[in-house]
Structure 1
Amino acid sequence: MADSTPESRTVTSADVARLAGVSRATVSFVLNDTKGARVSAATRERVLDAARRLGYVPHAAARSLRAGRSNLVLIPASVSAMGRLASEWIDDLHEALHRRGYVTVLHAGRFGDPAEAARAWAELRPVAVLALDGDRYTAPTADVLARAGVRAQLAFAARPVPGTYTIAFDHRDLGAAAVEHLIASGRTRIGVIMPKERGLAAFAEPRLAGAGEVAARHMATVVPVELAYAHEDAAALARRWAELGLDGVFAYNDEYAALLLHALRGQGIAVPGEVAVVGADDLVLAGLQDPPLTTVRIDMPSAEDIAARLEELVESGSAEPAPRIEVRLVRRGSA
């Protein structure tokens, strides 16, 4: 029997069944990893080998129709702009969900209207939606998705979202923790870095608000300072630092903090002598700076825990409440 089909024809599960010498039902059981199906290890390997030799790939939409639901978990792609911490966490989540039979999809669309975003997400008919920037998630958003058959909706948000499993996480806490520390160390005029990169305002603005709330209680001043993640922009900012009159800065996250730290030192500005610098995320690079970066650590739940909660929401429609995500200051040499 030939090991391949003509290039002009799409390979089907029937081709795999013929090459493996089994029924199409057995091919379906093996390739869909059907729970409870009695297929011997030898038969399973024969089917997988035939699929590899033929280059057969299961049809996701057809599989969803047979199963009665999708296996897609959609994550709005704005998380990709959040930095290394979020990227690594999403990688871990992808692996945890994959082990449970789900496929993670990042949706790259950017929408000003949450309802428009929900309609675009719903077109893919995901089984679940996970929003890290859940403060833009609304009750109408949740309703659109529920009507489209989305079985699980999980959002990280400062306040509960009706119709959505919400994990409490307020970005204002990061700005508040950073500025509390800067004020306690004697700083009174504090800059808050606002990244120019598209997609980060949703996270930067509440961090600025949290910083401002703390400053208002202590008679300190908070000044928003725009910065692009580029050496040239950081160097230009450092050259005019004296004009700003700032003695402390919360630099949005550790990546922007490290960039600014090097630019300030390049201009001969002493850190923390003249300017105290605080980052966020507690990345490995924070401890490698000179001086090491003081940072605000986010105690994120494990990706495995979130994958388990999503699966529970998909299967039963509910899950035990999750603890609030807390932040804590990690004090090092920069502030």
Structure 2
Amino acid sequence: MGEEKTGRVVTSADVARLAGVSRATVSFALNNTQQQRVSEATRAKVLAAADQLGYVPHAAARSLRAGRSHLVLMPVAAMAIGTAVSDWIDGLQSEFEQHGYTLVLHVGRFSDPVTAARSWAEIRPAGVIVLEAENLTAQGAAILRRAGIKAVVSLASRPVDGVFTIDLDHASVGATAVEHLVARGRQTIGIIMPEERGLLAIAEPRLRGAQEVASKTAATVTALSMAYTAQSAEALADDWAERNLDAVFAFNDNYASLLLHALQNKGYLVPKDVAVVGADDLVQSSLLRPALTSVALDAPTPKQIADTLLSLIETGSAPEVRSFKPVLVHRQSS
């Protein structure tokens, strides 16, 4: 697509010739330029010609002509996109599309936050949304500003100079889970630490939140390494008796589901022998037997996040956005 049989790249000039219009009209029609009105009949003719030739506009060239980018960059860890996050990102993309922006996920592994920021800056997006606080520092934010990136939003528990921060404290998720388990009479609690790349940035603060709650009670918490595989869950269940744990906060509902089944296969009764709590409150949580207790995140809507970033791009400021709040959804597994 985008090339003739000779291998020559199709250009907007080819589209203009086939449609019988000027290259400027092609640009106005394909970019839906509001300042230059194009009739629906002409737009349809241009779109048909572009489709016939397999022409795709050059985003970088369009940005140079317009003097601005229409990309919004979201750095993500390769393994950090679960069902709940992917659904939220899909909603975010839909919101940006309505305003002519494209959300781009940037998967990368960097040695430090400055290197990460430089990599993001090379793409020259209009805005950046950072999901993991550890990936953004004041120095990194300064690099993004010097690159002309107008809006940087971070979902984090701590503010960073030059960054619009929406409060998301993963420690509160672990704390909520352990507070519930302690209230249910559990004393020896395991905390699942995923082995998959990228997830420790979320798991470690959740562990700290769990430890802080336990330190104020007679309960103890133990970090447990587990990969997102049936074999890893089964191996952990094999050693459960030696660990003498009566509860587990399993990072999220996906890990919790694997471990719950593995424990049941070894003859443990849930919740009588082991109480299990997950996070994200996925649809599958209520379908398990027993139904899974989960920590949901009461989050700002994708529209609120998108509106915030767009306001920062257009005006340089935005109103405060409410925090992400953990909410315990109690079911039969605990």
**TM exceeds 0.5?**
yes
CA–CA separation in structure 1 for the residues paired with 2:318 and 2:134: 21
Judge conservation of contact 1:292–1:333 (CA < 8 Å) in 2.
Answer: yes
- Give 1:311 deviation, angstroms: 1.2
Note if 1:172 corresponds to 2:171. yes
Greater than 3 Å deviation, 4+ residue runs: none
5+ residue gaps, structure 1: none
1:279 aligns with 2:278: yes
Structure 1 Cα separation of the partners of residues 120 and 251 of structure 2: 29
Residue 103 of structure 1: aligned partner: 102
Question: TM-score of the superposition, structure 1-length normalised?
Answer: 0.96
Q: For 1:7 and 1:55, how far apart are their aligned partners in 2?
A: 14
Residue 61 of structure 1 aligns with which residue? 60
1:212 alignment counterpart: 211
Q: 2:250 is matched by which residue type in structure 1? A: A
Write the deviation string for residues 161-193 of structure 1: whole angstroms up to 9, x where unpaired.
110111001000100000000000000110000
Q: Which residue of the partner structure matches residue 232 of structure 1?
A: 231
1:308 matched to 2:330: no
Is 2:131 the counterpart of 1:132? yes
**Cα distance, 1:82–1:243 mapped onto 2, change above 3 Å:** farther
Q: Counterpart amino acid of 1:120?
A: S
* 2:33 partner SS: coil
Q: What residue is the counterpart of 2:295 in the other structure?
A: 296
Report 1:13-162 matches (<5 A). 13-78=12-77, 80-162=79-161
Contact 1:126–1:150 (CA under 8 A) maintained in structure 2: yes
Please give the TM-score of this superposition, normalised by the length of structure 2. Answer: 0.97
Contact 1:82 1:200 in 2 (8 A): no
Paired with 1:6 and 1:259, the residues of 2 have a C-alpha distance of 51
Aligned AA (1:217): K
Would the aligned equivalents of 1:193 and 1:251 in 2 still touch at CA under 8 Å? yes
Cα offset for 1:6?
A: 5.5
Residue type at the aligned position of 2:253: D
- Which residue identity does 2:255 align to in structure 1? Y
RMSD after superposition: 1.3
Distance 1:149 1:316, change over 3 A: same
Kindly provide the CA deviation profile for residues 104-162 of structure 1, in whole angstroms up to 9, marking residues without a partner as x: 22112111300000011111111111111124311111100010111110110001111
Q: How far does the alpha carbon of each residue in 1:275-297 deviate from its partner, in whole angstroms, 9 at most, with x for none?
A: 10000000001101110000101
Could you list the per-position Cα deviations for residues 210-240 of structure 1 after superposition, in whole angstroms to 9, with x for gaps in the alignment?
A: 0000000112101000111111111111011
* 2:193 pairs with 1:190: no
Asked whether the equivalents of residues 79 and 86 of structure 1 are also in contact (C-alpha less than 8 Å), the reply is no
Match of 2:327 in 1: 328
Note the C-alpha offset of 1:13: 0.9
Matches of 2:187 and 2:58, distance apart in 1: 60
SS in 2 for 1:95: helix
Cα gap change, 1:82 to 1:223, in 2 (>3 Å): farther
Q: Secondary structure at the match of 2:46?
A: helix
Q: Structure 1, residues 31-79: CA drift from partner, whole Å, max 9, x if none?
A: 1111232111111111111111111111111100011011111111217
- Paired positions, count: 332
Change (3 A) 1:5 1:243: closer
Asked whether the equivalents of residues 79 and 132 of structure 1 are also in contact (C-alpha less than 8 Å), the reply is no
